Amino acid sequence: MKACILAVGSEMLTPFKVDTNSLLITERLNAIGFDVRLKAIVADDIDEIAAVVQGAIGWADVLIVTGGLGPTEDDLTREAVARVLNVTLELDEQIVSGLRERFARRGIVMSDNNRRQAMVPKGAVVLENRNGSAPGLLLRGPRTDIVLLPGPPREMTPMLDAVIRDRLSGKSQSRGLWRRTLKITGRPESEVDAVAEPVYSPWTRQAVPISTTILAALGQIELHLTASAASADEAGVALDRAVDELRGALGPSVYSVDGRPLEAVVGTMLKERGLTIAVAESCSGGLLASRLTDVPGSSAYFERGVVCYSNAAKVELLGVPDDLIRSQGAVSEPVARAMAEAVAVRARTNVGVGITGIAGPDGGTPEKPVGTVVVAVSVNGETKVRTLTLFGGRDMIKFQSAQAAMNMLRLMLA
Amino acid sequence: MKACILAVGSEMLTPFKVDTNSLLITERLNAIGFDVRLKAIVADDIDEIAAVVQGAIGWADVLIVTGGLGPTEDDLTREAVARVLNVTLELDEQIVSGLRERFARRGIVMSDNNRRQAMVPKGAVVLENRNGSAPGLLLRGPRTDIVLLPGPPREMTPMLDAVIRDRLSGKSQSRGLWRRTLKITGRPESEVDAVAEPVYSPWTRQAVPISTTILAALGQIELHLTASAASADEAGVALDRAVDELRGALGPSVYSVDGRPLEAVVGTMLKERGLTIAVAESCSGGLLASRLTDVPGSSAYFERGVVCYSNAAKVELLGVPDDLIRSQGAVSEPVARAMAEAVAVRARTNVGVGITGIAGPDGGTPEKPVGTVVVAVSVNGETKVRTLTLFGGRDMIKFQSAQAAMNMLRLMLA
């Protein structure tokens, strides 16, 4: 069953306003088996509202429209929908008297423009609004049910819940959508998809179908699995099996199947193994320490960090030999190794991490261009070192450096 | 001139993802006189993408599409647009060789599915992507120019700016919208608005009208000014005067009028004054160092940072007396002061910062609840210390701690 969500209001088309109503509406619709296929935001313009409504009734089983139900000239949702359905708008005297009472309770005489809110397309069901003046409307069509709700979340949410419970939940035969996310790092998107696609593509045709979306974010790939099932239990069984199969195919590059970020996964591993960590950062500038300490309870394993931006700091805070920096360069495998090992020794921790590199935009050379980053991870005295070539701006290089260091540690601890 | 923005991707239709790309695109289009009339988000489905594109070319002067340009089977934007325009897709060998080189530089052999990214609708102009593999495309139509851009903001933004500058800015002759943002910290929203409202409210009625929106974000308040004018010059004059008036009313709590974040403002002050800085962090966990080093060129003034999470680290890395920690507590004004002064002395910098506090969720006591944070800033031996009571979760407390430290330093340097 397919759903469309439309938000009406010119203020939603400025650079400052994000549409958040649609997230809540999506969650509620998914739970009763509707798949949201289109979200749109239009200006307060009757032609443009009508065009989106017209388009949706070609394919959507339900269309939820928020906004444009107020008393002003700008509020055109009722008119637009009536035009598309070719029905007349009629004054509902019950709504008028309800509005008049509402105003009277607040000691105000109802101004005439509020009568707009009582105009109802012929055949519509009126939905009560307990938290505001604009009633909602439900128009049942041969294919598409159209639900008109006010924009303010406080008014919209209880009305949505009521219309879903009383009017829509039967429509979809109650299959719902349930989701799972796999997070993967250390492999490019195309390679992940080449491995995963043969695994997930048959799932769309099974009894509990699962659709899969691949999403590349900075320093990680996400696989979103969505199961359509009659119950949470049925979805859970299918999703567990799907996650296991993908893990089998993708191996240890999968670091999370429960939404947790890499710093939380690594934090749990350190905690469970009773290990402590200290980090020495140059180009990542404290971002690794900050991400590790974003995790509640990280003080149990995070002992200290040093951000040794200058060479003097590397010598004084870590005892990296000045000679080594001069002969090998600050961005080099021996220096990264010395940083990782020294910070662990000085902090008396099991784990030490060293990151040194060129975050740019300046400081690159032909041999060591911007994006050259060396990461060293030392676990109980055994150290691994990797030289990476990262892309992007300064903040991207910082993020990927921290991501690579945590992933190296994760693989060494696994 | 009318614009339509379309985001493609099933992941954008889950309850978890908000579309933020369209805010930036709206701002940029407004500045060259385009009015955004419709924003839409569709699933990775060729029919549904094509339906929105088909609808938009009926009325839009420009259609910006983001997403769906990757290498996988899900990436269908190219195909959908080619279908609507009834043109063929052809392999662009120049794109293929560019992709192959890009992979080779990272030591990876290009997998075959990446060739999808080199399929170009006949007649399209290829737009270079410096930060990723998917090139953009521009298709000029009799009425509608269609711009296809990748979804990740870091790839999309510079490509959008380039296509607007080089290809679209001539198209619109109507009045444009120009914007200015004032950033304010250290005062609550209601107080800022009480001071600012009498200043900005008459501006909506002047020859170059300016509308004002107040927006509270974590650790800062933003005032967005939008001028409607016939030219950038005309808007600039009006906005300059508006900014000056608001600065006069709000005083030094305004830290930025050009969009720069606090770390960049503080960085410029340090650089201009020839000062260097070192920071000692406990509860902020390296976030202050990371934010300071987000600024390109920060190695000129940022000497080092220490993240002394444990008391041992405070003693060993900074020489904070063990006695002082025991008698006053790690979260105390004397300890914050000692951290700030010690890190400056050890690093031989002009400025030292010390932050110690309780970021939660555990560790609070009745006297020092979660959110208690002490910040000390020392400039050439003169130290100021403040105890703050911050709200929110762990990440919010970290952010506000770093924000408060940078703002104290800004005011001391001003």
* Separation between Cα atoms, residue B291 and residue B299, nearest integer Å: 13
How would you write A204-227 as a 3-class SS string? HHCCCCEEEEEEEECCEEEEEEEE
Overall average pLDDT of the A3-21 stretch: 89
For residue B105 the two structure tokens come to: 């530089």
B40 DSSP β-pair partners: A40, B6
- Coil, strand or helix at B158: helix
DSSP state of B305: E
Q: Which pLDDT does position B174 carry in this prediction?
A: 64
In chain B, the residue whose alpha carbon lies closest to the alpha carbon of A298 is B309
Judge whether B286 and A305 are in contact, CB under 8 Å. yes
Where exactly does CATH 3.90.950.20 map onto chain B?
262-413
Neighbouring CB atoms inside 10 A of A69's CB total: 25
Element containing residue A8 per DSSP (H, E):
strand A2-8
Where exactly does CATH 3.30.70.600 map onto chain B?
176-256
* Separation between Cα atoms, residue B152 and residue B128, nearest integer Å: 14
* Residue B411 distance to chain A (closest CA, Å): 24
Phi, psi of A188 (to 5 degrees): -75, 160
- A36, A94, A133 from A167: Cα distances, Å: 18, 21, 22
For residue A277 the two structure tokens come to: 């960590």
A176 pLDDT band (50/70/90 cuts)? confident
CA atoms within 13 A on the CB side of B403: 21
Angle between helices B232-250 and B189-200 in degrees, nearest 10: 130
Q: Which pLDDT does position B108 carry in this prediction?
A: 80
Judge whether B324 and B338 are in contact, CB under 8 Å. yes
Mean pLDDT computed over every residue of chain A: 93
Query: A97-101, A331-335, B308-312 — which is least confidently predicted?
Result: A97-101
Overall average pLDDT of the A17-41 stretch: 90
Top-level class of domain A262-413: alpha beta
In chain A, the residue whose alpha carbon lies closest to the alpha carbon of B49 is A38
* Separation between Cα atoms, residue B142 and residue A161, nearest integer Å: 46
* Separation between Cα atoms, residue A137 and residue B324, nearest integer Å: 68
> Judged by CB atoms within 8 Å, which residues 146-175 of B form the interface with A?
152, 154
pLDDT in tens, A208-259: 999 888 888 888 999 989 898 888 899 999 999 999 999 999 999 999 998 8
* Separation between Cα atoms, residue A155 and residue A92, nearest integer Å: 20
A198 pLDDT band (50/70/90 cuts)? very high
Q: Which pLDDT does position A173 carry in this prediction?
A: 60
Q: Which pLDDT does position A251 carry in this prediction?
A: 95
Q: Do A304 and B304 touch (CB under 8 A)?
A: no
pLDDT in tens, A262-271: 999 999 999 9
Q: A355 versus A17: which is more confidently predicted?
A: A355
Residue A394 in contact with partner chain B when CB distance is under 8 A: yes
What residue has token string 């307060």? A44
DSSP B347-367: HT-SEEEEEEE--SSS---SS
pLDDT in tens, A35-50: 899 999 999 999 999 9
Query: What is the percentage of chain A residues whose pLDDT exceeds 90?
Result: 75
Helices (H) and strands (E) in chain B, counts: 13, 17
Determine how β-strand A382-389 pairs with β-strand A351-357: unpaired
Q: Which pLDDT does position B137 carry in this prediction?
A: 97
For residue B206 the two structure tokens come to: 């002047």
Judge whether B136 and B150 are in contact, CB under 8 Å. yes
Give me the residue from A13, A313, A395 closest to B36, CB to CB.
A13
> Judged by CB atoms within 8 Å, which residues 282-301 of A form the interface with B?
284-290, 292-294, 296-299
Q: Which pLDDT does position A174 carry in this prediction?
A: 60
Query: Model pTM?
Result: 0.78
- Give the A:B interface size as CB pairs under 8 Å: 247
CA atoms within 13 A on the CB side of B118: 16
Top-level class of domain B176-256: alpha beta
- Coil, strand or helix at A62: strand
Top-level class of domain A2-168: alpha beta
Determine how β-strand B145-149 pairs with β-strand B62-66: parallel
Q: Which pLDDT does position B381 carry in this prediction?
A: 94
- Which pLDDT tens digits describe chain B residue by residue (414 residues)? 899 999 999 889 988 788 889 999 998 998 888 889 999 999 999 999 999 999 999 899 999 999 999 888 889 999 999 999 999 999 999 999 998 888 888 888 888 888 888 999 999 999 999 988 899 999 998 899 999 999 999 999 999 999 998 888 777 666 788 889 999 998 877 788 889 999 999 998 999 999 887 777 788 888 989 898 888 899 999 999 999 999 999 999 999 998 899 999 999 999 999 999 999 999 999 999 999 999 999 999 999 999 999 999 999 999 999 999 999 999 999 999 999 999 999 999 999 999 999 998 998 999 999 999 999 999 999 999 999 999 888 998 999 999 999 999 999 999
- Coil, strand or helix at B299: helix
Cis ω for the linkage preceding B366 (within 30 of 0): no
Where exactly does CATH 3.40.980.10 map onto chain A?
2-168
In chain B, the residue whose alpha carbon lies closest to the alpha carbon of A43 is B37
CB contacts of B359 in chain A (<8 Å) are 293
